[in-house]
Chains A and B, each alone.
Chain A
Amino acid sequence: MFEPELFGLSSPALWSLAQSLVTPTLGFLFLYLMRLPLAELSFLPKTQYTPPVWVVPFFAHGSTFVLVALLSANLFLNWSYERERADGIKPELFLVRELDTSGQHLVKVAVVVKSYDGLSGFRVLANGYDVFSSGRNCVTSFQCTATAAKAENDAREFIMRRLSGGSVFELNKTDSLPKEIAVNHYLASGQNYLDVVSENSGTGLCELSVEIDLAAEAGQYERYLLEIHPYRDPRGDEEPKHRGPLLKQEVFYSGGTGSGSTVPRYKTSAIERRNSVCEKIRISLNLTEPQARALSSDADFAAYFVSRQKEYVCETIGKPIPGCRSGP
């Protein structure tokens, strides 16, 4: 079912075609090499005739040519590989922004989700770990809003109404915006990636503003703002570069260029935007061993994740267990 094909003929079909040509080809080759006349053909009535001189060479060469071509094509169909598609597809998967941290004595790297439309999808991943996302942290009406006081009230009301029952979601948190998530402990020496993904949902547009904050030992701060808008780029037809340095501020218009029916960088429709990827930005940073240690010592690493796990388990298990304080 998955065999290779040539002009609609599968590899087994080509084999059987080649097999059926073997006997006549050998016959014609014998006559041709022995310079014998084609005295009789089994499927013709026995009559006296003299075939023209070109018949035997023509069929000997012709059938040999077809047979060898079939065999060769079949062999190479089965021995060859399709071209690698990853390299062709990669440019439409994400944009890369390189953050140069060389020589810096970093003490903190944080991602700050500054604003968000409330209905689109977004995710922030650090080295393949979810650190904050709409699908996990913004699942109730009081989460990920810019009105912290109202969100706290609504959350209190929610906790009061919730009698029991667990969930893999942390429903008692408001995660009001702006929300800062320190990602120190998700970084390590070598190549690190922070992924900021924004997607249109079935209902919403994709407005997202995320800042990458770096704090250095000397109390210096560096901030890099990524703004994602759902509209067409008012600046014209220029696409953002696939790879480039992380700028202090970069605005992405995910609706595409000023004209055209597709968003070239993601090859998505600029007209039908539901559930389409708006932006996928990979922030690439390289850390040396001392830099990684300064960001996350072993003790801090363990303390952070044990505390995070305890917070999560106590929040989501939905019943009192030893080690968690009781009550809603």
Chain B
Amino acid sequence: MRSELVKILLNCVIAGIIGYVLAIWFGTGLASPPSKVVENFAQFENVRLPIAARTERELKSIVIRLKGEVDDFGRVYVNNRQVTSNEDPIRPFRHITWRDKDDDYVRRYMVNRANPIDPEVEVRKFLRKGSNWIMVELENSRWGACSMVLEILANGNQLEGSPFFIPQREQIDGSLSNPFLLQRFRELSVKTSELKEFGIIPEYDALCARVIFAFELH
């Protein structure tokens, strides 16, 4: 019986190793590594595609949807291609009233870069086999808050963590700037708080968030 037991144990060890090798080499949708900041450039979030949407053959659709108002300047890129933004050429003139209401001054003065501004875009055609990334940039003006909400759907299913509320952490992602500069802004913010609208906060003109959602397409 001892020899049978040894054989069974040996069998178990080999099976265990093979199971490990299969999981590591052929497993898909493994847990995502924690997010990290790359060279003060962007926050990297590794996300998983849902089951039955992980291969080129299975993934039929990836939809990016901007929910609600983007405050103030938002852009979304897929693999270095801008797919949507809120850079509407008529936006700068939206609240302006003109002395002469008969003339179409907006058309005369606007600069139309024909950038994509649809709040919902299908981006499957911009994906490739291997690593893909969706980059979201959000910038603030010198007015108000800085926020946007974004959904990413793969084959109609929300990705892990979607909808994404951006910025995900503080109002401004400090890791995207120089820490000493941010500290100076914070000190100035305290000193100028009595100036009301002329006071300074670190969020003014800041890149509030640059998040890269990276995923693998097999």
In the assembled complex, the Cα of A313 lies from the Cα of B184 at a distance in Å of 21
Decide: B22 and A129 in contact? CB cutoff 8 A: no
Query: Is B207 touching A130 in the complex (CB atoms < 8 A)?
Result: yes
Cα(A162)–Cα(B91), bound, Å? 15
Docked-complex contact A86 and B44, CB < 8 angstroms: yes
CB distance from B190 to the nearest CB of A (A): 11
* Per-residue contact bits, chain B 1-28, to A (CB 8 Å; 1 contact, 0 not): 1001101100110111111101110111
Shortest distance from the beta carbon of B29 to any chain A beta carbon, whole Å: 4
Check B96 against A167 for contact (C-beta < 8 Å). Answer: yes
Q: Is B168's CB within 8 Å of the partner chain A?
A: no
Is A149 an interface position by the 8 A CB rule? no
**Chain B interface (Cβ < 8 Å from any Cβ of A):** 1, 4-5, 7-8, 11-12, 14-20, 22-24, 26-33, 36, 38-42, 44, 46, 48-51, 54, 72-73, 77, 79-83, 85, 87, 89, 91-100, 103, 105, 108-116, 128, 131, 133, 139, 141-143, 157, 160, 176-181, 184-185, 188, 191-192, 195, 197-200, 204-207, 212, 214-216
- Across the interface, name the chain A residue whose C-beta is closest to B109: A140
What is the total number of residues of chain A having a CB less than 8 Å from a CB of chain B? Answer: 109
Closest chain B CB from A254 CB (angstroms): 11
Interface residue from A136, A167, A309, A310 paired with B204 (Cβ < 8 Å): A309
Consensus secondary structure, chain A interface: mixed
Question: Is A90 an interface residue when CB atoms closer than 8 A count as contact?
Answer: yes
Q: Which residues of B contact A67 (CB under 8 A)?
A: 15
- Which single member of B26, B29, B51, B180 contacts A292 (CB below 8 Å)? B180
Is A43 interfacial (CB 8 A cutoff)?
no
Whether the Cβ atoms of B31 and A121 lie closer than 8 Å is no
Interface contact B113-A119, CB-CB below 8 Å: yes
Q: Per-position contact with B for A133-170: 1 when CB-CB < 8 Å, else 0?
A: 01110111111000000000000001011111111110
Q: Is A64 in contact with chain B by the CB < 8 A criterion?
A: yes
Q: Enumerate chain A residues within 8 angstroms of B181, measured Cβ to Cβ.
A: 127, 186-188
User: B29, A2: Cβ atoms under 8 Å?
Assistant: yes
**B179 CB contacts on chain A under 8 angstroms:** 190
